[in-house]
Chain A
Amino acid sequence: MTELIIPAIISCIIAFFTVYFITPPLIKFLQKRNLAVKDMNKKDHVMVVRPGGPSIIAGIIASEIVLYYFFQLNEILAIMITSFIAFVIGYVDDRKVMSGWFKPVALVIAATPIILLGTYDSNLSFPLFGTVQIPALYLGLIIFMIPITGNTINSIDVLNGVASGFMMIASFSLSIALFILQNYEMAIISLPLGFVSLAFYKYHKIPSKIFPGDSGALTLGAMYGAIAIVGHVEIIAAVALLPAIINSFLFLSSMKRIVEHRQIKGKPVEHTEDFRLKATSDKTAPITLVRLILAVGPLSEKQVGYAIFKLAIFSGILAIITAFMMRIQI
Chain B
Amino acid sequence: MKIGLFGFLFVMWALIIAGGGILVTILGPFSISGYGDLDLLLTSILKAIIAIILVVIWVLVLSKLKNWIFKKEIKS
Q: What are the residues of chain B within 8 A of A245 when measuring CB–CB? A: 12
Q: Are B20 and A235 in contact (CB under 8 A)?
A: yes
Q: A126-B24, A129-B24 are in contact. Are A137 and B47 (CB under 8 A)?
A: yes
Contact size class for B? 20 to 34
Q: Are A134 and B47 in contact (CB under 8 A)?
A: yes
**Which residue on A lies nearest to B25, using beta carbons?**
A129
Partner of A296, one of B41, B44, B73: B73
Report the Cα distance A77→B50, complex, angstroms: 34
Q: Are B48 and A295 in contact (CB under 8 A)?
A: no
Q: Are B73 and A295 in contact (CB under 8 A)?
A: yes
Report the Cα distance A325→B24, complex, angstroms: 15
A92 within 8 A of B: no
**Which residue on A lies nearest to B51, using beta carbons?**
A137
- Secondary structure at the B interface, as helix, strand, loop or mixed, is helix
Q: A307-B1, A311-B6 are in contact. Are A249 and B59 (CB under 8 A)?
A: yes
Partner of B48, one of A136, A242, A307: A136
Q: Are A130 and B5 in contact (CB under 8 A)?
A: no
Question: Contact mask B14-37 → A, CB, 8 Å, 1/0?
Answer: 001100110111011000000000
Report the Cα distance A238→B20, complex, angstroms: 13
A140 within 8 A of B: yes
A315 within 8 A of B: yes
Instruction: Give the interface centre of B4, B24, B27 by most chain A CB atoms within 10 Å.
Output: B24
Q: Are A293 and B5 in contact (CB under 8 A)?
A: yes
A246 within 8 A of B: yes
Q: What are the residues of chain B within 8 A of A325 when measuring CB–CB? A: 17
Report the Cα distance A289→B6, complex, angstroms: 12
**Which residue on B lies nearest to A239, using beta carbons?**
B13
| Chain B min CB distance to A49 (Å) | 32
Report the Cα distance A240→B31, complex, angstroms: 32
Question: Contact mask A223-253 → B, CB, 8 Å, 1/0?
Answer: 0000000000001001100110110011001
B9 within 8 A of A: yes
A35 within 8 A of B: no
Report the Cα distance A295→B10, complex, angstroms: 19
From residue 295 to 316 of chain A, which have CB atoms closer than 8 A to chain B? 295-296, 307, 310-311, 314-315
21 CB-based A-B contacts, threshold 8 Å: A127-B20, A128-B20, A132-B24, A134-B48, A136-B41, A136-B47, A140-B48, A235-B16, A243-B5, A246-B8, A246-B9, A246-B12, A253-B66, A292-B4, A293-B1, A296-B2, A311-B5, A311-B6, A315-B9, A322-B17, A325-B17
A-B pairs, 9 with minimum CB distance: A126-B20, A136-B44, A129-B24, A132-B28, A129-B21, A137-B48, A132-B24, A318-B13, A295-B74
